[in-house]
Amino acid sequence: MAFGPIMRLKVGDLNIELAPLTRESMSEFVSHEHGGGMQRHTVTRYLGRQDAPVLEDETDWFDKSRKDTSLVWGIWVIDGDNRTLIGNSSLNSIGEDGHSGFIRQATSGSMIFRPEYWGKGIASATHKARTWYAFKHLGLHRIKSAVIQGNGGSSKALGRSGYIYVYTERNEAFIDGELRHLDCFECLNPLDLFWKQWWHGDRPPKTSLEARKLTLETLQWAEENVKLA
């Protein structure tokens, strides 16, 4: 696995396309023409990194992504014939988990490197499209994610898809002179088959039942608003 199939959706007046990246598009992640992207501390501070990547780093990442057990999408804004790359979203380490090899899960990640597109609902819509694909088309039981404390926007975007807080890893990052904790989240496949397999007789807690409703709403929204090319 390497890149996910094309998915199209609208966020307000913006046409968004989730589509495979190309090696040539890697320059957009660090383009000085568009403000430096991932070379800006304001962009990478909550990604757990202190370095400023250059084009060679991005192309190395591209080559690695083509060979590992991930599905990666570039996030593009479409305006007529113009396609503007603004970030990426991914399902990482897709595979079997557990002693029986019965439960399938992945870890999700997402970032938008052009701040002018922050706060427009793109991250939330992207999470919903990715969650729909993971549960409806890949048959995953669970998606895990993690957010460095202080990055409230990312936590809220995950929550709108049905991710719930599970636990905190203490002192996982050092940002702007402070130690920061890492909040860990999970999103469970709400469809009956997978839900029953996950709990297999245990009683789900109230928080999981409430999250299930949100995730079912997410899947319904995606059925109506996300188009696979």
pLDDT in tens, 169-178: 999 999 999 9
Alpha-carbon span 214 to 176, nearest angstrom: 34
Name the pTM for this structure.
0.93
**Per-chain mean pLDDT for the chain:** 94
Sign of dihedral through CA atoms 56, 122, 151, 91? negative
State the SS3 of 124-164.
Answer: HHHHHHHHHHHHHHCCCCEEEEEEECCCHHHHHHHHCCCCE
149 domain-assigned: yes
1 domain-assigned: no
DSSP letter for 205, please: P
pLDDT in tens, 98-154: 545 678 999 999 999 999 999 999 999 999 999 999 999 999 999 999 999 999 999
Range of the domain at 38: 7-228
2 domain-assigned: no
Q: Which residues contact 21 (CB under 8 A, 6 or more apart)?
A: 3, 62, 65, 72, 73, 74, 85, 88
Length of the chain: 229
Q: What is the CATH number of the domain that holds 41?
A: 3.40.630.30
Number of domains in the chain: 1
**Tokens found for residue 41:** 């501390």
68 domain-assigned: yes
109 domain-assigned: yes
Among 120, 154, 115, 123, CA closest to 36: 115
CA distances from 147 to 48, 79, 88, 120, 176 (A): 10, 31, 16, 19, 16
158 domain-assigned: yes
pLDDT in tens, 192-209: 999 999 999 899 999 999
